[in-house]
Structure formats: C-alpha cells, structure tokens
Amino acid sequence: MNTDLNILILAAGLGTRMKSNLAKVLHRLDGRPLISHVCRTAEELGPKMIYTVVGHQGEDVKAAVLAEIDGPIADFAWQRQMLGTGDAVNSARELLADSDSTLLVLSGDVPMIKRSTLEALVRLHNDHHGRRAACTILTVKLQDPTGYGRVIRDELGTFDRIVEQKDGSPDQLAVKEINSGIYCFDTKKLFTALKQVGNQNAQGEYYLTDVPRILCADGEDIAIYLHDDAAEIEGVNDRRQLSAMERTIRTRTVERLMLESGVTFTDPNAVYVSSRAVIGRDTVIYQNVTVEGKTVIGDGCTIRPGVRIVDSVIGDGVEVKDNSFITDSQVGEGCTVGPMAHLRGHAVMERGSKVGNFVELKKTRLGRGSKASHLTYLGDATIGEKTNIGAGTITCNYDGKNKHETHIGDGVKIGSDTMLVAPITVGDGAVTGAGSVVTKDIEPNKLVVGAPAKAIKTLINDK
C-alpha cells in the first residue's frame, strides 16, 4: 500500500454534451461504466483511500464504484450543485484538507489512463529537481486540442497557467499542449489555494485549473509531466468520443486475440469482444458475434454468426451455431449448441451434450452425452447422462406462484411433446410416450403414456 497517496475521482457532473438522462460516468465503455475503468486503475496504485465526488445520480455512481473497489478504501463526497471542477474538489474539503498525503486527482470521464503513467506522474511529483512539487500536471500534445484546457508555459518552458477553451485568446488556443485533468497535489496547499478560486470566467464555474496558477503566484513549484500517448488522456465528453474509444479498445482486444492467442476472426471489424474475455487457440469467431464480460472460450471452438455469449465458460471444441444466446452458463468440452438456443441462469451442459434449435435451458444441468435437440424448455432441472429429451418437451416448473424442480435420471427417453409437471422425478432408464403429461414420479425403467401418464410396462434395459 502507498500510505502517502490518496486519490480523488471527480464524477459528479451530468455531462451535458452527452445529451443524456444518464450521468456521464455511468455510460458504458467495454461493457463497464466509465467510472469503473478509472476505479480499477486507481485501486492498482494501492492508495490509502479512494474518494469519489458524486452528485448527479450519486447513489448509482457510488454503487458502480463499490462494485469495482474494496469498500474499506472507498469514501464519497457529495457535490450538491455542479459549480465546476474546483468546487467538486472543494466538496471533499472536510475529508481531506488536513491530510499530509499527496492527492492524485482523476477525472471520472478519462477512462483509458494507465497505471504506469500515473505512477510516473506521482514519481515526478515527489522528486521534481530533488524536492516535492506543490502540483504536478499531466499533459499531452494533441494535433487537435479543441475542447481541452491549454497549458501555457513561459519563455523558459515553466508553467504559467491553464486556459480553458471558452476563455482562451486565439494565441492561447493555438497551443497544442493540453491539460489531461489529472494532477498530483500537495493536499494542504491545494485546499488553501482553492479558497482563492473565483468564478469570473466564460462558464461562471469554479475551475480546478486555476489552482496551479494561484500556487505558482505564491512562489510554489509546479511540475509538468508531458506524456507521449494521447489516447490514454482522451476524455469522453460526447457520444462520438465514446464510440471512438470503444472502437479503439475493441480493435486492440481483437488484435491481441489474433496475435497472442491464435484466434481466427472471419471479420474482425464486425465483432464485439470484451477486453476481459479469454479465447483459446484455433477458435473461429464468425462475423456478428458478441462476447461480453468475463467470458472464457476454450481451444478449437466454432462460434457461428449472430451468437451472443455473456459471462459464460465454454470448453474446448464446442460449436455454437447461429444466433444462439448464452448467459451466465457453462458449456462443457465437445458440446453443440443451437442454432437459436438459449442458455441462462447458470445452465450447465456437461461434456459432449447437445442442445439444438429453439431449446431453452434455465438453471438446468444437462448430463454427459445427453441431448435436447428441438423445441424444448428445461428449467430448474437436472438431467443425467445419455438421456434423450424428445422434441417439444417442457418442464412445467411454474405453478403460478412457485418454481419446482425436475430430476431426470440416466439413459432416459422422454418422448416428443412430453409435459413434466414439476416437482417430478424420472428414474433411470424410464421412457415416456409421445404427448405424455407426467404428473407423478416415474420409477426406473418404466414406460409411461397418456395424460395423466400411467406406467404400462417395465422395460428391460441392458446397460
């Protein structure tokens, strides 16, 4: 843990330019809210505490933060009115003003920043020509700096001021070096200087960017860390920037999977793959496939067009046929799924089992080598090994109030269009006739038929 470092994330704004009812930091990038990305990187630095300034949809933002980082190191400051970034920091005054630690300020809308860059920033802050600076600003040079605050230096190249887009003269706006909105501060000096920040500017806001100028005027040392990777520093202010960032991340993910993991993509531009997904060697991903969350796909799989897989684990040598949807489920080695199958609610397909077209599995375990090939709903069920579920079978698991379980043994043959009225147990080796309505448990090796189904015969199963 870095006991000398606290982090403050600014995340109270609505993000007017997003034209959205959703707070900007809750918009998703790579499947997670913007704020989650910043929190993840912040936590990797091992700070004493991570404070987040919340305002717009603050409870939701808080929940997103707490979903990403450990509760004990998270704390929150509320900004009631969004009066600018300076005011946002000021709302954490009571939590922080007496702290001797360095404060790293991050923006909730700058999600691509890397841990190594922040570490370098903190290092420079702690050792700027042999002493600790009062403030260190992370900057980058952009071809098109429009929209960002410009960092103005004097003739010696030392810091002079930051000028916002809306306040700048043409000369100032011609400067390509921009403020990333990420800084290190001596915490006490920051909160002292904040008292002097006014709102006489084009936006009538209290700018955090005025603090370095105030400190500088007081003879304090301001360091600048000029970084070379502009992509890390990009902010998300509108949806075009959000989609451009999404594309950048996706391209990187797909290229990494092709070059490092040996995955084939029939059309790398027409897939969506989460950066947290793991995909094995010689797996082929067809066009229009979506792989979300922490999905793991094994080696030698074939994922056909239109498939969506979310937070699931797919074993080696699996084929998922066209337009299937798999979420929160596990598919074992050598299974076949689809076309147009739906697995959800922690469904488990054991090795070599098969689910065919228009089959839904919910909270169901399908045993080794078992098959449900057509038009079937299996919910809250366990199915043994080498059992065949005929076309049109339904586990009638819901009585209008409660859900009930179905247990089907090994080597069972469920005839087409069988209704299994749960709770129900079907013994090993049993057979149901086509159209049976099973309302009572079936003993092993019995043949039942009819509605309600009755046993008519004991079968001799040579297993």
Q: How far is the CB of 162 from ligand UD1 (least distance, A)?
A: 6
With CB under 5 to 8 Å by kind, the binding choice for 207 among ligand UD1, Ca ion, none is ligand UD1
Choice among 56, 227, 342, 374 that is catalytic: 374
Q: 3-state DSSP call for residue 173? A: helix
Residues of 384-404 as b/e, b for ≥16 C-beta within 10 angstroms?
A: bbbbbbbbbbbbbbeeeeeeb
Q: Which is nearer to ligand UD1, 237 or 373 (CB)?
A: 237
What's the gap between Cα 314 and its chain centre? 19
β 135-141/177-186 pair status: antiparallel
What's the gap between Cα 204 and its chain centre? 35
> Residue with the closest Cβ to ligand UD1?
149
Q: Which is nearer to ligand UD1, 107 or 376 (CB)?
A: 107
Q: Which is nearer to ligand UD1, 177 or 380 (CB)?
A: 177
**Minimal CA–CA distance to 114: which of 40, 30, 7, 49?**
40
Is 410 within 8 Å of 426 (Cβ atoms)? no
Region class of 380: left (phi > 0), else alpha (psi between -120 and 50), else beta: left
Among 109, 164, 186, 385, binds Ca ion (CB under 5 A): 109
Among 33, 58, 145, 235, binds Ca ion (CB under 5 A): 235
Is 19 within 8 Å of 61 (Cβ atoms)? no
Alpha helices, H only, 156-308: 170-173, 187-194, 210-217, 230-233, 239-261
With CB under 5 to 8 Å by kind, the binding choice for 7 among Ca ion, ligand UD1, none is none
Contacts to ligand UD1 by CB under 6 A: 10-13, 25, 53, 79, 82-85, 87-88, 107-110, 148-149, 162, 164, 178-181, 207-209, 235, 237
With CB under 5 to 8 Å by kind, the binding choice for 87 among Ca ion, ligand UD1, none is ligand UD1
Binding letters toward Ca ion, positions 67-106, x by CB under 5 A: ----------------------------------------
With CB under 5 to 8 Å by kind, the binding choice for 178 among Ca ion, ligand UD1, none is ligand UD1
If one asks whether residue 111 binds Ca ion (CB under 5 A), the answer comes out as no
Q: Which is nearer to ligand UD1, 223 or 263 (CB)?
A: 223
Is 222 within 8 Å of 184 (Cβ atoms)? no
Q: Which is nearer to Ca ion, 181 or 334 (CB)?
A: 181
Say how far apart CA 170 and CA 377 lie, in whole Å.
67
Q: Which is nearer to ligand UD1, 91 or 397 (CB)?
A: 91
Q: Which is nearer to ligand UD1, 16 or 158 (CB)?
A: 16
Say how far apart CA 174 and CA 193 lie, in whole Å.
28
Q: 3-state DSSP call for residue 136? A: strand
Q: 3-state DSSP call for residue 269? A: helix
How many helices and strands, by DSSP H and E, does the chain display? 10, 40
Query: For residue 121, what are its two tokens?
Result: 């920033």
Is 354 within 8 Å of 368 (Cβ atoms)? no
Residues of 162-184 as b/e, b for ≥16 C-beta within 10 angstroms?
A: bbbbebbeeebeeeebbbbbbbb
Q: How far is the CB of 36 from ligand UD1 (least distance, A)?
A: 13
Residue 298 phi, psi (nearest 5): -75, -165
> Residue with the closest Cβ to Ca ion?
235
Q: How far is the CB of 108 from Ca ion (least distance, A)?
A: 9
Q: Which is nearer to ligand UD1, 82 or 340 (CB)?
A: 82
Q: How far is the CB of 72 from Ca ion (least distance, A)?
A: 29
Annotated active-site residue 374? The verdict is yes
Q: How far is the CB of 116 from ligand UD1 (least distance, A)?
A: 19
Q: How far is the CB of 190 from ligand UD1 (least distance, A)?
A: 13
Q: How far is the CB of 198 from ligand UD1 (least distance, A)?
A: 13
Is 355 within 8 Å of 380 (Cβ atoms)? no
Q: How far is the CB of 204 from Ca ion (least distance, A)?
A: 17
Say how many CA atoms lie within 13 Å of 170 toward its Cβ: 0
> Which range touches Ca ion (CB under 5 A), out of 230-238, 319-327, 348-356, 361-369?
230-238
- Positions touching Ca ion (CB under 5 A) are 109, 235, 237
Residues labelled as active-site residues: 374
